[in-house]
Amino acid sequence: MEAPLAVKRLLQRDDIHGIVVLGIIERGETDHGVVMGHAVTKALIDLQLSFMKPIGMGILGPGIFASQITPRLRSYARAATLAVCQMLRQQ
């Protein structure tokens, strides 16, 4: 839940042109992770549009099983980073 605040603080800096957010929201016994995932995603999209700076979302889940994490770590991080790079090149 702290990611949007950390991202906002960074986006306020003139030397930051884009950000990649990485995280994992594992499957739990309640829907807390789903709620958290939706709230964080919405907040990050709002920040992206407010600051007009790209935010790459490399967040696994919500609801991912522990066995699914390792095989997806690099590809999600890579895709999020490439998305930001592509957006920055289009400016």
| From 9, 17, 27, 32, active-site residue | 32
Interior/surface letters 47-85, b for 16+ CB within 10 angstroms, e for the rest: bbeebebbbbbbbbbbebeeeeeeeeeeebeeebeebbe
Instruction: Mark whether 17 is an active-site residue.
Output: no
**Which helix or strand (DSSP H or E) is residue 54 part of?**
none
Active site residues per annotation: 32
